Amino acid sequence: MVDWHGKSLKIGELNIRVPIVQGGMGIGISGKKLAAAVADQGGVGVISSVAIGHLGIPLIDEEVAALAKERKESRNISVLRQEIRAAKKMTTGVLGVNIMVAITEFAQTAKAAVEEGIDIIFAGAGLPLDLPESLKDEGKTKLVPIISSAKAAALIAKRWMKKYQYIPDAFVLEGPAAGGHLGFSKEQIEDPKFQLESLIPEVLKEIRRIEEETGKEIPLIAGGGVFTGEDIHRIMALGASAVQIGTRFVVTEECDADISFKETYINCTQDDIAIIESPVGLPGRAFMNKFLSQAKEGEQHPKSCPRHCITNCAGKEAPYCISSALINACIGKQDQGFAFIGANGWRVKEITTVKKLFEELSAEFNKAMSESSQSKRIVSTNL
Ligand SMILES: Cc1cc2nc3c(=O)[nH]c(=O)nc-3n(C[C@H](O)[C@H](O)[C@H](O)COP(=O)(O)O)c2cc1C
The 3-state DSSP class for residue 99 equals strand
Indicate the angle between helix axes 354-382 and 32-40, nearest 10 degrees. Answer: 40
132 exposure class (CB count in 10 Å sphere: 0-12, 13-18, 19+): buried
- Give me ligand 1 centre to Cα 284, in Å: 10
Average pLDDT over residues 62-77: 93
**Mean pLDDT across the chain:** 94
In sequence order, what are the beta bridge partners of 94?
Answer: 44
Question: Whose CA is closest to 218, among 161, 173, 156, 169?
Answer: 169
Average pLDDT over residues 132-161: 93
Confidence of residue 172 (pLDDT cuts 50, 70, 90): very high
- Considering the chain, tell me which residue range(s) the CATH 3.20.20.70 domain(s) occupy: 9-256+348-364
CATH number given to 9-256+348-364: 3.20.20.70
Question: pTM above the 0.75 mark?
Answer: yes
Q: Per-residue pLDDT tens for 268-313?
A: 999 999 999 988 888 999 999 999 999 988 888 888 887 788 887 8
- Give me ligand 1 centre to Cα 27, in Å: 10
Average pLDDT over residues 143-171: 97
Average pLDDT over residues 14-39: 97
Closest Cα to atom 16 of ligand 1: 23
The 3-state DSSP class for residue 310 equals strand
> How far is the C-alpha of 132 from the C-alpha of 144, rounded, in Å?
10
Q: How far is CA 98 from CA 36, 124, 179, in A?
A: 14, 8, 15
Q: Enumerate residues lining ligand 1, CB below 6 A.
A: 23-26, 29, 48, 50, 98, 100, 124-125, 146, 174, 177-180, 223-226, 244-247, 250, 340-342, 344
